[in-house]
Amino acid sequence: MAANSSTGSATEPPGLETQWREIDNLNQQQLRSGDSWYLLDKRWYDQWKEYVHTGDQNSSSYPGKIDNTELYEDLDSYHLKERLTENEDFVLVPAEAWHKLLSWYDMMDDQPPLERKVVDLPSTVKVEVYPVEVYLCLSSNLESTVSARFSRADKIHAIHQKIRQHFNVSETAESRLWMRSTDTSSERLRNLNMTVLDTCLSSGMTVIMEIRNADGTWPTSRPQIMRNSADEDSYQGPPGVCGLTNLGNTCFMNSALQCLSNTPPLTEYFLKNSYLEELNFTNPLGMKGEIAEAYADVIKQMWSGRHYSVVPRVFKTKVGHFASQFLGYQQHDSQELLSFLLDGLHEDLNRVKKKEYIELRDADGRPDQEVAEEAWHNHLRRNDSVIVDTFHGLFKSTLVCPECNKVSVTFDPFCYLSVPLPVSKERVMEVFYVSLDPTAKPTQYRLIVPKAGRVIDLCAALSQATGIPPNQMAVADVFNHRFYRIYQTDEFLSCILDRDDIFVKYSWIKQKLCLSCVMIVSLHRRYVRPLDPSEEVEEEEDEEELYKAQTNGVSDGMTLFFILKETNTFILQGCIKSIKSDCEAMLQKIPISNKSCGSTDTNSQDATDVDQSAGAEPSGKEEEDEDEDEEEEEPASCAQANKRLPGRRHYTERRKKALFTMQAVNSNGTTERGMGEADGSFSFSSQPYIAIDWDPDMKKKYYNENEAEKYIKHQSMDVPHQQTTVQLQECIELFTTVETLEEENPWYCPTCKKHQLATKILDLWSLPEVLIIHLKRFSYTKYSREKLDTIVEFPLRDLDFSGFLLKKTVNSTEPPCRYDLIAVSNHYGGLRDGHYTSYARNKDNGQWYYFDDSKVTYAREEQIVTSAAYLLFYQRQDKIRHPTIPPPIPSSTQPENHISSQTRDGMDGAASCVSMETD
């Protein structure tokens, strides 16, 4: 039975199998423009799936009320967190599925539903998780703004009406709209029937309404609306040394653009307007020249020398038009953006207007030179552009069938090299260990475990540090102040993410006393100040009110080992056996009134007796005994927490005020579900959790909360994590190593007439003028998903590829194989978030700069090689032009917050200024 909310809106749900079938069927619906879908916290949804799949209504995996707390930035504005990822942070369910779940489980009090609309965008239909949030104001008062959210499919007319309504502008007043960002001049919104997407209106911008003056003039003659700041108008700086404004999680795009901007042959091609003669408007694989034109506009602004920073808003919108994965403002991969952009520029600038069909031939034993020349010639018959001229090379692919030994050789073009990094077979994990020693604080350990290991391996590693046998440890994931998951020893460690809070407990149980009960007692005993008899507080309480106070549930604020600041409740898990007598023995050492649990009986009895007698009506004799017992300080039994029942008789008793009350609850901390007995008593077998509700005043007076939240760092935490260092040449060697195809990607053998897991080897045949090397830092295996922070040491000059080229005969007409570095795209952070920046060498003055969105700083060469390096741009030495302009001297006279010298030493200088930043 689902827990009822305070509003009583939850209804009796169907059986668990029916629940799953109904929701799963509804989730198969196709997206239709205008429909509503809802966001659900991923962990809550996973907990619900686990619950319905158990087939047990009393399962401890019962999810409780729908709780989207983790999706909100705060619980005051209920503003959605930035950078949330579908199927990692949240899931989307259609409206009908949402309403069913809401009727069965209810929702946490005061939380608004996260409804989002399906929008029909140029290349896709999708749920718009993050609508455009803009500021609205009148030209007469630019300081008074109000924020509002609009769908990208909304028309500007909707914004126009919103401003009229909020600022009480008469419908008869003649008005017009302008849109303005913080870094560029205002633009007129002339067509009210255009969509928000088509006008390139993005989050953070301001829409200004002007109202015509009585004399017929418009207020926009004033410069503060129409023009940039005076500093921007008068600025003159080095061409190309220009930042790019972050439009909202667009650092991935800015980083890639800065690298391409500092690729000399491509930039000069656009600055000289060579692209105008080669725009291909008819290529069905292209984008009608729009990507090339938008890119050209950005490059020209960046190299004009007239801007501190350029807003690539139009370019961002064009990318979203043609690549739906980049719509919106979530974080993406700079390599994926670069791949799309190079392909899009190529097709928009392809000199081949009509591509002919070419049948590919296998080598069939022919000499490599012949096959390679044929492959490159065929490639140019269909693909001929500045991108091919600059970035395309050729590699040889050799496949060997494991059954018939058929050898297939092909030569294929490439635009960049994605090279693997040596993957460590070990993993560093940080866990908190909690012992039964009441004088010992929880201790944080840093452990080295097998990357493909299991939970038992984690316990074994911790055992070496603690001396506790691995089979006497319990491993739990604590999330949102509750047990999110208890791990079995045979589960893979890959299911534990680096961001999870993992607690390991010593689980040896003496005299059938469950671990969690000991934690109620032993661990927290030292945090409670002994009661002074002179401080004891007496209270009068009606029995029915007392019952209500004890069984109101503890659904908000639960934790494994600590009492939270924002709540007076914590919850612990355990298989409750003879809990009454065992807890009494432990509670003897804590000065708690015998009325803590509302008990009128101090006789010792086992859990079964408690369940059977929980509904018994107190007799008059018992009431007299209570009065006598008030003077004694006997311990309260947590098994007596639910002894009192309402409705039998109303009477008032005087009793000492308790520190806390204890009761059995389910995994969500509620008591409405699984009552177990017809008379309303609780069954500990179906309610395997104990909740302790502290009295707020007593907790403040007697409980040392600051002390309870402390923990100790083991010396292993002081040992810095040693980063692995490899040479770039090692990564290239791995790229050319023989590998066996994966089962998901077999090769069809023309001889065997079936798919085979062939062996494959890639060899480099010819290299382009500008070689892009993609370091594959993001590792995805069946065991784990991680980002590799390996330091790859790459040369800034004289990268020699002659040893890697299969084509050994180099004559005087062939280009050399030595390269110099010209740009680097960096990624700081982990899998789900992070920040992109870039280093680049200016083609005119030879100076290195560090680009961090709109901020630009000077950089030294020794700062460039870091563990954040992600994309490397190398130019062939014979094509590098020596600077014609001497590099500037870093000076304090440069514009503030624009170009400044980095004063930190070594690579830490750049890393430290951004490593804690996220978009």
Long-range pairs for 219-224 at CB < 8 Å and ≥24 separation? 219/139, 219/140, 220/139, 220/178, 224/142
Q: Are strands 689-694 and 652-656 parallel, antiparallel or unpaired?
A: unpaired
What is the C-alpha separation between 475 and 55, in angstroms, rounded?
25
Give the pLDDT confidence score for residue 357 in this predicted structure.
86
pLDDT digits (tens, 9 = 90+) for 350-373: 999 888 888 878 778 888 899 999
Higher pLDDT residue, 125 or 724? Answer: 125
> If DSSP codes are grouped into helix, strand and coil, which group holds residue 771?
strand
Percent share of the chain, pLDDT over 70: 70
Lowest pLDDT segment from 426-435, 460-469, 671-680, 900-909: 900-909
Q: Among residues 774, 763, 766, which one has the least CA distance to residue 816?
A: 766
Q: 669 pLDDT exceeds 60?
A: no
Give the pLDDT confidence score for residue 194 in this predicted structure.
86
Q: 342 pLDDT exceeds 90?
A: yes
Higher pLDDT residue, 895 or 294? Answer: 294
The set of residues, in sequence order, having a beta carbon less than 8 Å from that of 319 and lying 6+ positions away, is: 253, 291, 294, 326, 337, 340, 341
pLDDT digits (tens, 9 = 90+) for 147-166: 998 988 889 999 999 999 99
Give the pLDDT confidence score for residue 630 in this predicted structure.
43
Q: What single letter denotes the amino acid at residue 118?
A: V
Q: Are strands 443-450 and 426-434 parallel, antiparallel or unpaired?
A: antiparallel
- In this structure, what token pair is assigned to residue 845? 């003055």
> If DSSP codes are grouped into helix, strand and coil, which group holds residue 261?
helix
Give the pLDDT confidence score for residue 658 in this predicted structure.
67
> If DSSP codes are grouped into helix, strand and coil, which group holds residue 314?
helix
The set of residues, in sequence order, having a beta carbon less than 8 Å from that of 137 and lying 6+ positions away, is: 143, 144, 145, 146, 206, 207, 208, 209
- Which helix or strand (DSSP H or E) is residue 176 part of? strand 175-180
| Class of residue 44 by CB neighbours under 10 A (exposed 0-12, middle 13-18, buried 19+) | buried
Give the pLDDT confidence score for residue 152 in this predicted structure.
84
Give the pLDDT confidence score for residue 224 in this predicted structure.
45
pLDDT band at 496 (very low <50, low <70, confident <90, very high): confident
> If DSSP codes are grouped into helix, strand and coil, which group holds residue 135?
strand
Please name the residue ranges forming H helices in 630-768.
696-702, 705-708, 728-735
- In this structure, what token pair is assigned to residue 106? 């209810």
- Which helix or strand (DSSP H or E) is residue 388 part of? helix 386-391
Average pLDDT, whole number, for the chain? 76
779: phi then psi, degrees, rounded to nearest 5? -105, 125
* Ramachandran bin of 297, using left for φ above 0, alpha for ψ from -120 to 50, beta for the remaining angles: alpha
Q: 653 pLDDT exceeds 60?
A: no
In this prediction the pTM is 0.64
pLDDT digits (tens, 9 = 90+) for 78-93: 888 877 888 888 999 9
- Which helix or strand (DSSP H or E) is residue 739 part of? strand 739-740
Around 610, how many Cα atoms within 13 Å sit in the side-chain half-sphere?
29
Q: Among residues 423, 424, 393, which one has the least CA distance to residue 411?
A: 393
Give the pLDDT confidence score for residue 631 in this predicted structure.
41
What is the rounded (10 degree) CA torsion for 236, 241, 247, 252?
180
> Are residues 438 and 522 in contact, defined by beta-carbon separation less than 8 angstroms?
yes
> Mean pLDDT, to the nearest integer, of 548-577?
34
Q: Number of helices (H) and strands (E), helices first, in the chain?
A: 24, 40
Higher pLDDT residue, 707 or 568? Answer: 707
pLDDT digits (tens, 9 = 90+) for 238-257: 999 999 988 878 899 999 99
Q: 700 pLDDT exceeds 50?
A: yes
pLDDT band at 866 (very low <50, low <70, confident <90, very high): very high
Q: 679 pLDDT exceeds 50?
A: no
Q: Are strands 132-138 and 206-211 parallel, antiparallel or unpaired?
A: parallel
- In this structure, what token pair is assigned to residue 17? 């199998």
> Mean pLDDT, to the nearest integer, of 475-489?
78
> Mean pLDDT, to the nearest integer, of 162-171?
93
The CB density around residue 621, as the number of other CB atoms within 10 Å, is 8
> If DSSP codes are grouped into helix, strand and coil, which group holds residue 520?
helix
pLDDT band at 646 (very low <50, low <70, confident <90, very high): very low
pLDDT band at 736 (very low <50, low <70, confident <90, very high): confident
> Are residues 173 and 212 in contact, defined by beta-carbon separation less than 8 angstroms?
yes
Q: Among residues 857, 833, 854, 846, which one has the least CA distance to residue 910?
A: 857
Lowest pLDDT segment from 283-297, 435-449, 567-581: 567-581
- Which helix or strand (DSSP H or E) is residue 772 part of? strand 770-776
Burial 571-608 (b: 16+ CB within 10 A, else e): bbbbebbbbbbbbbebbeebbbbbbbbbbbbbeebebe
Q: What single letter denotes the amino acid at residue 627?
A: D
Q: Among residues 281, 273, 277, which one has the least CA distance to residue 300?
A: 273
* Ramachandran bin of 422, using left for φ above 0, alpha for ψ from -120 to 50, beta for the remaining angles: beta
Higher pLDDT residue, 217 or 373? Answer: 373
| Class of residue 736 by CB neighbours under 10 A (exposed 0-12, middle 13-18, buried 19+) | middle
Q: How far is CA 579 from the centre of its chain?
A: 41
Give the pLDDT confidence score for residue 816 in this predicted structure.
73
Catalytic residue among 200, 251, 259, 597: 251
> If DSSP codes are grouped into helix, strand and coil, which group holds residue 179?
strand
pLDDT band at 848 (very low <50, low <70, confident <90, very high): very high
Q: 678 pLDDT exceeds 60?
A: no
Higher pLDDT residue, 44 or 890? Answer: 44
Give the pLDDT confidence score for residue 440 in this predicted structure.
78
What is the C-alpha separation between 143 and 8, in angstroms, rounded?
45
pLDDT band at 584 (very low <50, low <70, confident <90, very high): very low
Q: Which domains does the chain possess?
A: 16-121 (3.30.2230.10), 132-211 (3.10.20.90), 234-420+728-879 (3.90.70.10)
The CB density around residue 382, as the number of other CB atoms within 10 Å, is 14
Q: Are strands 754-756 and 309-310 parallel, antiparallel or unpaired?
A: unpaired
Q: Please name the residue that has the structure tokens 């009606």.
A: 542
What is the C-alpha separation between 266 and 389, in angstroms, rounded?
10
Give the pLDDT confidence score for residue 221 in this predicted structure.
53
Active site residue 774: no
Q: Are strands 855-858 and 759-766 parallel, antiparallel or unpaired?
A: unpaired
Lowest pLDDT segment from 317-326, 503-512, 648-657: 648-657
Lowest pLDDT segment from 132-141, 475-484, 726-735, 865-874: 475-484
Q: 813 pLDDT exceeds 50?
A: yes
Q: Among residues 690, 590, 573, 572, which one has the least CA distance to residue 635?
A: 590
Residue 595 DSSP class = T
Higher pLDDT residue, 588 or 70? Answer: 70
> Mean pLDDT, to the nearest integer, of 684-703?
66
What is the C-alpha separation between 16 and 48, in angstroms, rounded?
10
Q: 898 pLDDT exceeds 60?
A: no
Higher pLDDT residue, 59 or 656? Answer: 59
What is the C-alpha separation between 652 and 620, in angstroms, rounded?
13
> Mean pLDDT, to the nearest integer, of 823-847?
90
Q: 146 pLDDT exceeds 60?
A: yes
What is the C-alpha separation between 217 and 723, in angstroms, rounded?
66
Catalytic residue among 714, 774, 835, 898: 835
Give the pLDDT confidence score for residue 86 in this predicted structure.
86
Active site residue 495: no
Give the pLDDT confidence score for residue 623 in this predicted structure.
43
Higher pLDDT residue, 56 or 387? Answer: 387
What is the C-alpha separation between 908 and 821, in angstroms, rounded?
20
| Class of residue 848 by CB neighbours under 10 A (exposed 0-12, middle 13-18, buried 19+) | buried
Lowest pLDDT segment from 229-243, 368-382, 588-602: 588-602
> If DSSP codes are grouped into helix, strand and coil, which group holds residue 146?
strand
